[in-house]
Structure 1
Amino acid sequence: MDPAAGPPAMRYRVLGPVEAWSSAGERLALGPPMQVRLLAVLMSQPGTAWSIDQFVDELWQGRPPKSAAGNVKTYVWALRRALRSPGFPEPAILAEATGYRLVLDAQTLDSAAFDDLTQRGYHALRQDRCSDALRAFEAALALWRGEPFAGLPGRGVLLSVRARLEEQRSSLLEEVADLHLRAGRHNELIEPLRAQIDGDPLRERPWGQLMVALARAGRRADALATYRRLHRQLSDEVGVEPGPDLQQLHTRILRADRELSTFGARPPDKPPPRLVPRQLPAPSTLFTGRTRELARLTTLLLDDTGPAGTVVVTGTGGVGKTWLALRWAHDNLHHFPDGQLHVDLGGFGTPTQEASPSAVVVRSLLPALGVKPLEIPAEPAAQFALYRSLTADRRLLVLLDNARDAEQVRPLLPGSARCGVIVTSRHTLPGLVAAEGAHPLALDLPSTAEARQLLVRRLGAQRAAAQPAAVDELISRTARLPLALSIVAARAAARPTFPLQAIADDLAESRGGLAALATDDAATDLRTVLSWSYRLLSADAARLFRQLSLHPVADISAAAAASLAGAPPHLIRPALDELTRTNLLAEHSPNRFRCHDLLRAYGEELTDVHDTAADRSAVRKRVLDHYLRAARAAARLVDAGHQPTDPPPDASLPAFADHRSALAWFTIEQRVLLAAVDEAVAHSFNAHAVQLAQTLTPLLSRLSRWHDLAAIQATAVTVAQGRGDPRAEALAHRDLALAHLQLRRYGAARRHLRSAMARYDQLGDRPGQASTHLHLAWVYDTEGNPAEALPHARAALALSSSSDDRRGEAVALNSLGWSYARLDEPARAIVYCEEALALQEEVEDRLVTAHTWDSLGFAYHRLGVHPTAAACYRRALLLYSDAEDQCGRAETLVRLGDAHQAEGDHDTSADLWREAWTILDRIGHPEAVELSERLAAHR
């Protein structure tokens, strides 16, 4: 053991009976079986917080006693006492807001050490270092003492973790056998392989390895007898023959081939991480039938060893591709113990709507696989490589819904053939089938019986049975298309007193076609159904339906719909209700609506026919005005120093009580706001694009959405340059630099700040110059060079003073104070910080004041006056909490902990650091790692 590593830590074992050993090498008494089971649940996912309800479900599996919750707390209390050790004074089980979690070093848990050794072995194998790989693999296998969690009931989370670990062990045994065969140790392998086969007789790879070992040892007859035994066993127990690789090996042994190589070697992959994503939406309650297609998916996606392959489900719009995929996925969750990923690729929205680029999609998938925002690589190629690495050797289901073409899908295919992939698309994607070996599954119309079942489920058996001829005609007129059937059924269900024949007659009289989605078969023509629904609308609802198709995304609030229509909210609500009742719009949450992409496409066709280009342009402008004005109001509440250009008046705005409600609104609307920037550029509303980007900066910053901030500010730079607007260009460069700074791209941040400074110098804009100097000071300080930051802070103060910018002066004074404190001149720092506080009484900016109290606390800490430092830090914490600035709060908590540590109050300092670490880890801040190491050293 490395002497610098400190005293030995506690050890936890799950690869066999569950055990815990003290740092002194003593096995700890863990208590009764139910208590041990609770510890096993914690060890199955270390670091994960479990709620009381989750513990109850895992321990009693749906039949808990009335005292279950109290029992859980008792078990936790008893385990905390049991896990105390002279080398580990802190309790290993920590209380969280959401429950309890087990805190331990990963290498003290044998299953984590097993994963680490396995990964090292595969890494060595990829580099052809076979001896190193073998040592790592055998060290990993030596950790096993029996079945994982031996003696505990195999259910719930323990069942899935046990299955994953045993699968990894079986695969590793096969890799070890393969390495021994490569080294010519076939005689030594024969008996271990026989024992391995006896334990798991349906895995084919060990059978092939045994046949190779016997044949190489000169026991050709025994090798052939082994194949016959396997053939009988598979035929009797499973009803199948050995796979083609084994059949080929059998033939080569019959021919006395002396060049037999190892059998069934697979490329080494990284073991799956512990994070298990569960992203599947709920299946449709209207789904019926499709028995043949569900069975076909099972055949294509599952084989004897588990999930494998890619299936492309194709068919016309509205035929039920997503319904089928979700139904099958939910029915087969147990085959995918490592989780499910889902993404709507947006391949077929409105004709002008671009599909989601794969580079954008992969950035949204990485967090689901455990990657923190600041750990996402900057370049798309690196993001795709990381995605493939994280999905390698995992049993995942990936549902890529609504794909436009093969190029959109190809980069998103996982890095392992063991994953199941379902792609849904209106195109057949021949390139994916030809180049990637995907299996096509064409989804035709449902049968008449299945269509009738859908209607009966929606209308009720009694009403359908009373009018069978009308039901048959509805099925015929809607071409059995599930989307059309659901619209018709909703129309009938909303009018329970209408005869079904009257609805069928209306369908018979309505003709037309949906050109963008036309097929060779007139029975799949959607416009018949959609135009029939549209014709029944009032004039106001029909106009709103057309206008909604021009909204940047499918999701819209009632307030935004009112602005889009140019009417007060109370006048637009009846039209929204009418569209909802006719299923042309869905109110998926209070005052929020969503329109299916087929309906949006139909609405856009209608607006092209019925509305002028000027009308459409006016709708888009009202939408952009709405989001610009609302975002501006939110930004001003979140950041008092944010003063964007006033946008035009708007018909309706959300009401913000304070900065908290403003942040809540932005959290909901951020997707549409980001899309609105692109929409403004696409339709030549360049001023709106630039102003929106400027306005979103404080909102995105508060939520640490640095990748999104970088994207829209890059757009703003380009648009501002094209418009010849140096002021807007300068601000875009400055805000783009902020994003690069937070992403730790210091060189890029400095380049953009120099560009901003050049524009501000050209304009003679002193406040802009001052702000840019402050950002430069921030960059140099974050890089660890406060001496370089100091002249920029001085320049910012001089510029702010000369332009009578009181807030700018306050910020610059604080920056000077912080820099002097960092340079170990605390007395000078205190003078500047106190002067800054005096100015802030005029500007009343809670965040600027919080920063200054934090700087003042840091200066007193450097001066050695720790009680005063702590008092300043607590003033800053109150302001950060009020502003909901989690990053600032965490950084001040760290420094407050330092102050208590300096006073010898180690317990309080540890508590403060732990609270800070929780915040920093949640937002993916890089300082979380350093703080974690500090906490470990403290223990």
Structure 2
Amino acid sequence: MVMAPVEIGVLGSLEVRSAGAVIEMRGARLRTALATLVIHAPHPVSADAIATAVWGENLPARPHGAVQTIMFRLRAAIGESVVRTGPAGYNLELPADAVDVARFEELCRRAGTTPPQQGAVLLDSALELWRGPAYSEFADMDVARAEAVRLDELWMHFMERRAMLALELGDADGAVSRLQRVVDEQPLREHAHGLLMTALSRAGRTADALDHFQTLRQHLAQELGLDPSPTLRDLQVQILGHAVPQHTGPALQPSLPRPPHLPPGWQPAGDLFIGREDESLALLRAVTDGRLVCVTGPGGVGKSRLVAEVLPELSRRLARPVAVVELADAAPGEVDETVAATLRLGATSDPRAAVIEYLGATSLILVLDGCEGVREQTRSFVEPVWRTAPRVHLVVTSRRRLELEVEQVLPLGTLPSPCPADPPDRAVTTPAMRLFLERMRRLRPATDLTGPVVDDAGEMCRLLDGLPLALELAATQAATVGVRAVREELAAGVQLGGSEAGSLRAVVARSYDLLEGGDRALLSRLASFSAGFGLDDAEQVAPEGQARSGLSRLVHASLVTPIEGEIAPRFRLLGPVRAYASEWADADTPATFWRWAADRSDMLSEQAVGPGATTALALLDLTQADLAAAAAGAISGGRVDLAARIVGNAGSCVHWVPGTALAEVTIQVGDHPDLPGAEEASRARAAAAMVAVERGELDRAERLGLSALRAAVTTQERYLALTSLSVAAVYAGERGKAARLWQEVASLDDLSAAYVVDAHAALALVLVASGATADAELHAAAASRAAERSGAAPRLAFALYASGEVLLTSDVEAAADVLREAARVADTSHAEQIATVTRVALLSALARSGRTADALDLSRTLLDLQQRRGHWPQAWTTMRILAEVFTLVGRLETAELVLAAAESDESAPNLAGADVDRYRQLRTKMHQELGTDRAHRIAALARLLPRTQILDRVRSAVVASSTQDADLP
């Protein structure tokens, strides 16, 4: 007789069904064995593991025989075909959806990819599968404890998610009932408390929301001695002010990292902004009132310019910094990478996760500009950001809306043009005419606005459909050859009533056609640059080497826009001009661009080890997007050798960290199958190994580093390979191995002075951490001497940092002075990595010397930088040091929260050397003062909180402690 399919339920007590009927599973041992197989399904479980799960330490005389007896009974109950035996043990052979856990997780996964209404239905179906706590009868047994905790956490997470959907769908009462169940189950779950306060407010129960906050505050104070998180305190202020949040989560503390500077073209413009007064006010209102606004309109209508003009006032009103992500050149799979690179989040193998985590704890106005080419990918990015980052306001520009339910759309039309019957005095007041005439008069101030000129200008505005960019380009032409000449030629090529895109293309085409042949070719070559370029870059890609005079003519024609730069003047092409010019690029343009990148990176690599290091690292920051694009293009074009040169050169600048895009292409080159024969294979693999270290992929880093070492021929190649391996060893906590590798670096013949600095400074750091202070002092001194010989400012900063770390063991005050100077030099030389680690050491010096005010002040900048770069191991080190500061200012509860969280978070580095004993003594002292019970309850809360919330609490404690310190007499 064939049994009906079996279904197993573990979301509650263990339950087995066949054809809808419950199968009796009598006996605790039989049920435990089945639960063990379910937990590990579909993988086999050995007889020994089953015996241990069933009997624990009280094993029977013949464990394997006893297990066989249980398996015989199990097969009789649920079927011979379900319980299988193999060389590795026993396993269940069931369809994927036979266990309720699999059905629950699949429904939840599908709910995350559907609109709110469908997602709510799917989550309801998923949550209805629960009959009680997961593996309820086995939850205290070793075999099921971890899985039970995981599943119960999933239940709470998706209960919260279902409540958030209820709020989005206008069902605040339904959200309240669900969230009340969650906080009853887990009273310390602050995210759920925040959602419950929001839901109560949205349900019109403001008093209940405020009472709930006060109850939670009292509970935390009595049980843990802690205040509610900054998130909840900020939410309370909003509710008190009747500013009920319209999103589905509590607000986050605004004192958070500042993003990088605005990209070229987004700085305040020097010309007048004409004809968009109403649209500017509408955009201000829309972004202030909502969290996702999409400005739509045709190309050239001025979407980006409108947003750029409004941003300063918007930032002031919302008290948020601004970050602009330009997506016009992004490929469909590069949206996440481009956002991560713009936010400078550092190397990461999962840019989406890094961005979501960063934005989830950030107060920001994030502009996504030019999304039409990556609309679907932008939409998939925006939806989770809107849901999980409640203090992030999103402004999108695109030719079409994203079509998200929460999106506010601001359509941007062309500028009104004069009617043919309008008299001249009325015609010149229309927005299109005002823009055209203002731009023309900038170049030709003496223009005489006679009736015929105004008529011709009005006709031109109508021909160009009032499209702002087309009007500006036409004004440039008219200033040179006259209004009538431009109008007549446009009339011959543009039909009245034509599309805006056609009008823009026509005027760009006319500007292009008016150029001489050499200037056209130059413009098409310059279109390869997306991040801007300098005069020397233009000269390198110019077809005939006449870039200087040609570039001047292109600027005069408004086809190239100058940008004021800190290093030297730079230039850029507007998107429509760049797109059109690219169409006319000759066959040699891609290879010319790749060779430019290879030669440019050669030069920067050489300068980075000498007196020109500061300028070289600054130029690397400016050009890295184009270096990444060139390397990726070279790979696609079959020139892996050029790609290897580019990434190898960039990677040789070891005190400079590449952004996401360049890091990703570096990894691609390092693992490329055609690389073994490339001349630059060793340096490219060493560069890829360093990126892998930054990502935390230490096994991959060692594999790439060893491959780089085997391929190394020159001293520099051996240095880079050994450096990557030694840094990986440091990250892995293998100090002895790191010291041996750095000794090998130091013994290399003909090593340049800059590389000698790295070897001796790194040896000093490893040795002082191991307690070998005398040897560390010798190497720190050697690093300082080599730094003077090199003339490279980043190397001087590194040598000073190593000397400061060594001094910390004997003279804390002197160490602090040296570390301050190291940080200053690192800042001015664009050596951000050295600047960060130096400030960590300085923070330690200030904490040890009891200078709490200085330590607290320094920590603000330090934590912001570490979070933005994704340097969580460094952030945890900083927070551990701050825990020592908190004990000095009487915030023992926060100190215990930090140290307990660092113990359980995987991204926190293990303590080593003297730190182990120092922090053990610190916690022992804190437990004595707090009491063991309170300390254990705080540790339980620490295990529940995500690391971003720990960081948020630390920031809040820093601010509060700074205020407290300032108030002391």
TM-score, normalization: structure 2?
0.55
**Whole-angstrom distance in 2 between the partners of 1:757 and 1:824:** 29
2:604 is equivalent to residue 634 of structure 1: yes
Do the aligned residues in 2 keep the contact of 1:734 with 1:753 (CA within 8 Å)? no
Task: Give CA-to-partner distance per residue, 1:251-303, whole Å, 9 cap, x none.
Answer: xxxxxxxxxxxxx998443445344879675479565446887798789x48x
Q: Secondary structure at the match of 1:624?
A: helix
**CA 1:433–1:171: 2 relative to 1, 3 Å:** closer
Aligned to 2:666: 713
Task: Give CA-to-partner distance per residue, 1:505-554, whole Å, 9 cap, x none.
Answer: 33345x389xxxx99749934343233222322333233223323x2316
Identity %: 19
**CA 1:893–1:173: 2 relative to 1, 3 Å:** same
Q: Secondary structure at the match of 2:396?
A: strand
**Whole-angstrom distance in 2 between the partners of 1:739 and 1:572:** 36
Aligned to 2:301: 319
Quick one: which of 701, 705, 725 aligns to 2:677?
A: 725
Quick one: which of 343, 351, 361 aligns to 2:325?
A: 343
- The one-letter code matched in structure 1 to 2:582 is E
**Whole-angstrom distance in 1 between the partners of 2:177 and 2:798:** 46
- The one-letter code matched in structure 1 to 2:535 is A
**Whole-angstrom distance in 1 between the partners of 2:240 and 2:767:** 72
**CA 1:512–1:767: 2 relative to 1, 3 Å:** same
Aligned to 1:553: 530
Do the aligned residues in 2 keep the contact of 1:729 with 1:759 (CA within 8 Å)? yes
Aligned to 1:929: 879
Do the aligned residues in 1 keep the contact of 2:685 with 2:704 (CA within 8 Å)? yes
**Whole-angstrom distance in 2 between the partners of 1:725 and 1:167:** 61
The Cα shift of 1:691 comes to: 0.7
**Whole-angstrom distance in 1 between the partners of 2:242 and 2:847:** 58
Aligned to 1:574: 549
**Whole-angstrom distance in 1 between the partners of 2:186 and 2:475:** 65
Do the aligned residues in 2 keep the contact of 1:738 with 1:749 (CA within 8 Å)? no
- 1:573-722 equivalences in 2 (<5 Å): 573-589=548-564, 591-607=569-585, 611=586, 613=587, 617=588, 619-639=589-609, 658-699=612-653, 701-705=654-658, 707=660, 710-719=663-672, 721-722=673-674
The Cα shift of 1:597 comes to: 1.6
Do the aligned residues in 2 keep the contact of 1:760 with 1:768 (CA within 8 Å)? yes
Do the aligned residues in 2 keep the contact of 1:554 with 1:594 (CA within 8 Å)? yes
**Whole-angstrom distance in 1 between the partners of 2:207 and 2:646:** 59
The Cα shift of 1:690 comes to: 1.0
- 1:46-57 equivalences in 2 (<5 Å): none
Do the aligned residues in 2 keep the contact of 1:730 with 1:755 (CA within 8 Å)? no
Do the aligned residues in 2 keep the contact of 1:564 with 1:623 (CA within 8 Å)? yes
Aligned to 1:463: 449
**CA 1:170–1:398: 2 relative to 1, 3 Å:** farther
Q: Secondary structure at the match of 2:584?
A: helix
Aligned to 1:61: none
2:471 is equivalent to residue 478 of structure 1: no
**Whole-angstrom distance in 2 between the partners of 1:658 and 1:934:** 40
Higher RCO (C-alpha 8 Å, min separation 6):
2
Do the aligned residues in 1 keep the contact of 2:739 with 2:763 (CA within 8 Å)? yes
**Whole-angstrom distance in 2 between the partners of 1:789 and 1:200:** 54
Quick one: which of 755, 759, 765 aligns to 2:704?
A: 755
The Cα shift of 1:565 comes to: 0.9
Aligned to 1:382: 353
- The one-letter code matched in structure 1 to 2:693 is L
Do the aligned residues in 2 keep the contact of 1:308 with 1:418 (CA within 8 Å)? no
- 1:426-505 equivalences in 2 (<5 Å): 426=399, 428=400, 432-433=402-403, 439=409, 441=411, 443=413, 446-448=416-418, 449-459=430-440, 463=449, 465=451, 467-492=453-478, 494-495=479-480, 499-505=482-488
**CA 1:364–1:524: 2 relative to 1, 3 Å:** same
The Cα shift of 1:865 comes to: 8.4
Task: Give CA-to-partner distance per residue, 1:871-912, whole Å, 9 cap, x none.
Answer: 99899889868966465466567768978999xxx47x7798
Quick one: which of 821, 824, 827 aligns to 2:771?
A: 824
**Whole-angstrom distance in 2 between the partners of 1:912 and 1:345:** 41
Q: Secondary structure at the match of 1:577?
A: helix
**Whole-angstrom distance in 2 between the partners of 1:439 and 1:806:** 58
Question: Structure 2: which 5+ residue stretches go unaligned?
Answer: 1-174, 213-237, 419-429, 442-446, 867-873, 890-969
Aligned to 1:32: none
**Whole-angstrom distance in 1 between the partners of 2:841 and 2:358:** 36
Do the aligned residues in 2 keep the contact of 1:398 with 1:419 (CA within 8 Å)? no
TM-score, normalization: structure 1?
0.57
The Cα shift of 1:600 comes to: 1.7
Aligned to 1:177: 208
**Whole-angstrom distance in 2 between the partners of 1:914 and 1:564:** 50
**Whole-angstrom distance in 2 between the partners of 1:861 and 1:820:** 13
The Cα shift of 1:780 comes to: 3.1
- The one-letter code matched in structure 2 to 1:407 is E
Do the aligned residues in 2 keep the contact of 1:777 with 1:790 (CA within 8 Å)? yes
**Whole-angstrom distance in 1 between the partners of 2:658 and 2:508:** 39
**CA 1:472–1:356: 2 relative to 1, 3 Å:** farther
**CA 1:132–1:704: 2 relative to 1, 3 Å:** same
The Cα shift of 1:709 comes to: 5.3
The Cα shift of 1:631 comes to: 2.9
**Whole-angstrom distance in 2 between the partners of 1:380 and 1:271:** 22
Do the aligned residues in 2 keep the contact of 1:837 with 1:852 (CA within 8 Å)? yes
- 1:336-375 equivalences in 2 (<5 Å): 336=318, 338=320, 342-346=324-328, 354=331, 357-364=334-341, 373=345
- 1:391-430 equivalences in 2 (<5 Å): 398=367, 400-410=369-379, 411-413=381-383, 414-415=385-386, 422-426=395-399, 428=400
2:730 is equivalent to residue 781 of structure 1: yes
Do the aligned residues in 2 keep the contact of 1:479 with 1:524 (CA within 8 Å)? no
Task: Give CA-to-partner distance per residue, 1:769-789, whole Å, 9 cap, x none.
Answer: 665445433333344442343
**Whole-angstrom distance in 2 between the partners of 1:327 and 1:841:** 47
**CA 1:385–1:127: 2 relative to 1, 3 Å:** farther
- The one-letter code matched in structure 2 to 1:929 is M
**Whole-angstrom distance in 2 between the partners of 1:578 and 1:328:** 32
**CA 1:932–1:809: 2 relative to 1, 3 Å:** same
**CA 1:769–1:270: 2 relative to 1, 3 Å:** same
2:532 is equivalent to residue 563 of structure 1: no
Do the aligned residues in 1 keep the contact of 2:601 with 2:650 (CA within 8 Å)? yes
- 1:897-916 equivalences in 2 (<5 Å): 906=849
Question: Structure 1: which 5+ residue stretches go unaligned?
Answer: 1-120, 141-165, 182-198, 206-263, 368-372, 641-656
Quick one: which of 502, 507, 513 aligns to 2:490?
A: 507
**CA 1:730–1:466: 2 relative to 1, 3 Å:** same
**CA 1:122–1:592: 2 relative to 1, 3 Å:** farther
- The one-letter code matched in structure 1 to 2:770 is L
2:496 is equivalent to residue 528 of structure 1: no
**CA 1:555–1:874: 2 relative to 1, 3 Å:** closer
**Whole-angstrom distance in 2 between the partners of 1:622 and 1:638:** 24
Task: Give CA-to-partner distance per residue, 1:443-502, whole Å, 9 cap, x none.
Answer: 46744444333334444696165633212332243343322222112222x34xx65323
The Cα shift of 1:840 comes to: 8.3
RMSD, matched Cα? 5.5
**Whole-angstrom distance in 1 between the partners of 2:306 and 2:792:** 54
The more displaced of 575-584 and 325-334 is 325-334
The Cα shift of 1:598 comes to: 1.3
Q: Secondary structure at the match of 1:423?
A: strand
**CA 1:712–1:595: 2 relative to 1, 3 Å:** same
The more displaced of 558-567 and 882-891 is 882-891
**Whole-angstrom distance in 2 between the partners of 1:454 and 1:896:** 55
Do the aligned residues in 2 keep the contact of 1:854 with 1:872 (CA within 8 Å)? yes
The more displaced of 460-469 and 708-717 is 460-469
- The one-letter code matched in structure 2 to 1:751 is R
**CA 1:440–1:817: 2 relative to 1, 3 Å:** closer
The number of residue pairs the alignment matches comes to 653
- 1:134-173 equivalences in 2 (<5 Å): none
